[in-house]
Amino acid sequence: MAVARFYHLTQDPLEVLLPTLIGKAQEIGLAVALRGTDRARMEALDRQLWLGEGFLPHGLAGGAHDADQPCLLTWDGTRVSDLPNATGCLIALDGAEVGADEVRAVERLCIVFDGLDQQALARARDQWRALTAAGIEAEYWSRESGRWECKARHPRA
């Protein structure tokens, strides 16, 4: 079962953090599901990931080679258990729904939210409360000091 790691974006855009999160999961052999809330947003991220620095193999869910993809970009309605790439890491964006059952089914969970957007901040807080109430361990990560640091844990260590 994964610890729910909440990443609060305040300095860099999502496109800077994503390659790091995806790359770290792939380094330890985990297939990744990158879940957003709408297809158009995920198609835009697909283009950005192909054009960014370095090579980050991935594909949009629904293609002929989904089972071979180390990273599948999905949107709400696609459950981790329905993905053919044996997902071990789920990265949720834009307030995408993540259920406690999914957290229990993966090795790594990252919830990334825009800390400068009040709605995104409120949604992340709601997700924190729901997951911790379901017995999921959670960590809050911030980069306010210039580097990523864990600022809070539930339950407290």
The number of distinct structural domains making up the chain is 1
Q: Which residues lie closer than 8 Å to 22 by C-beta, 6 or more apart?
A: 32, 34, 56, 58, 71, 89, 91
Q: What pLDDT sits at residue 118?
A: 96
Question: Is residue 52 within 8 Å of 15, Cβ to Cβ?
Answer: yes
Range of the domain at 70: 4-154
What is the C-alpha to C-alpha distance for residues 3 and 144, in angstroms, rounded to an integer? 22
Q: What pLDDT sits at residue 128?
A: 97
CATH at 93: 3.40.50.10110
Least confident of 50-54, 108-112, 113-117: 50-54
How does pLDDT run across 3-32, given as a tens digit for each residue? 999 999 998 889 889 999 999 999 999 999
